[in-house]
Amino acid sequence: MSDNGVSAVGLLSYETLVHAVAGAMGSMTAMTVFFPLDTARIRLQVDENRKSKSTPVILAEIAKEEGIMALYRGWFPVISSLCCSNFVYFYTFNSLKRIMVTSKGQSRPAKDLVMGFIAGAVNVLLTTPMWVVNTRLKLQGAKFRNEDLHQTHYKGIFDAFSQIIANEGVGTLWNGTLPSLVLVFNPAVQFMFYEGMKRRLGRGGRRISSLKIFFIGAIAKAIATSATYPLQTVQAILRVNKFHITLPSQENGGFLGSVRSVLSLLMDRIKRNGVLGLYKGLEAKLLQTVLTAALMFVVYEKIAAATFKLMGLSKKLKH
């Protein structure tokens, strides 16, 4: 088959679509279960004056001050963004996997890393506006300790898009893109370890249990999250943006301005709170992201396998 034929098969195959839908459904299910942990994480990242405490204490404080439903504030925009984001990521990753593995032999860790990085970059460029909006909505109505943080007044997702474009410009929707592009190493490293461990466990056609999938998903995500957490903090601050939090000044726009903002925020956080300040909220993030990723992979594998079996597809899931 020609290279063009292989590319077409990879991009338009039913199997790739199943992986994308299964990935989106898995991530939505997992995030819904562990959503309060994400609420605690983003409060600690953005609200610098909120003291870092154990995750249960932070959750109890938010529930006491703002009501139990505050733990689920912004659920719909986050789930909507997550659904689109993971659909794009899984679709791109599995398209590349079919093309590269079919045309160049068996999958290897280096290939998994490259495919994960490309899929992540495509995902960031397409879905960053949705994440900017859902970060704003998630913090709307929150009681901040930091007086530099100001409340927004959006009626919903579409109103948030409209107000941001009208008041701050279209470019604001891509705030945090630079750290987000650097952070594509997070899912890339995650998928590299996940695919590698899955191949090892599945050698000789051995069946991989849901419990093993849960654990390898958790381990892969823990490694990726710990390595990239400081940039995730900067990403969250940039998404809130200069109209809602005081950011270091930018002398230049564009790429250089973005680089200066990232470096300035990193140095400012270190100056104020020391190096450990870059890891504020890591406990909540690890709990949320590791458990969410582990459950997501379990649901993803189950949905994909069940769909292939239901449709009578002769091809098995590639490990």
CATH of the domain at 295: 1.50.40.10
Residue type present at position 113:
L
Asked if residue 319 belongs to a domain, the reply is no
Asked if residue 306 belongs to a domain, the reply is yes
Asked if residue 125 belongs to a domain, the reply is yes
Tell me what pLDDT residue 162 has.
92
Tell me what pLDDT residue 255 has.
54
**C-alpha–C-alpha distance, residues 185 and 120, integer Å:** 8
Tell me what pLDDT residue 6 has.
46
Asked if residue 76 belongs to a domain, the reply is yes
Tell me what pLDDT residue 139 has.
77
Tell me what pLDDT residue 105 has.
56
- What is the number of domains present in the chain? 1
Residue 230 CA from chain centroid, whole number:
14
Tell me what pLDDT residue 106 has.
63
pLDDT averaged per 10 residues, the chain (length 319): 48 82 94 88 76 82 90 87 91 86 66 88 90 82 70 84 90 80 83 90 87 93 85 73 46 57 76 76 80 92 88 52
Tell me what pLDDT residue 13 has.
79
158 CB-side CA count, 13 A: 0
- pTM, two decimals, is 0.70
**C-alpha–C-alpha distance, residues 184 and 315, integer Å:** 30
**C-alpha–C-alpha distance, residues 130 and 168, integer Å:** 16
3-state secondary structure of 181: helix
Tell me what pLDDT residue 92 has.
92
Closest CA to 246 of 255, 254, 238, 257: 238
Asked if residue 274 belongs to a domain, the reply is yes
Tell me what pLDDT residue 247 has.
45
Residue type present at position 55:
T
Asked if residue 218 belongs to a domain, the reply is yes
**Which stretches does DSSP call E strand in 53-140?**
none
Asked if residue 133 belongs to a domain, the reply is yes
Asked if residue 318 belongs to a domain, the reply is no
Which residue carries 């998994």 as its tokens? 112
Q: Which residues does 200 contact at the CB level (< 8 Å), separation at least 6?
A: none
29 CB-side CA count, 13 A: 16
Tell me what pLDDT residue 73 has.
86
Domain coverage including residue 124: 3-310
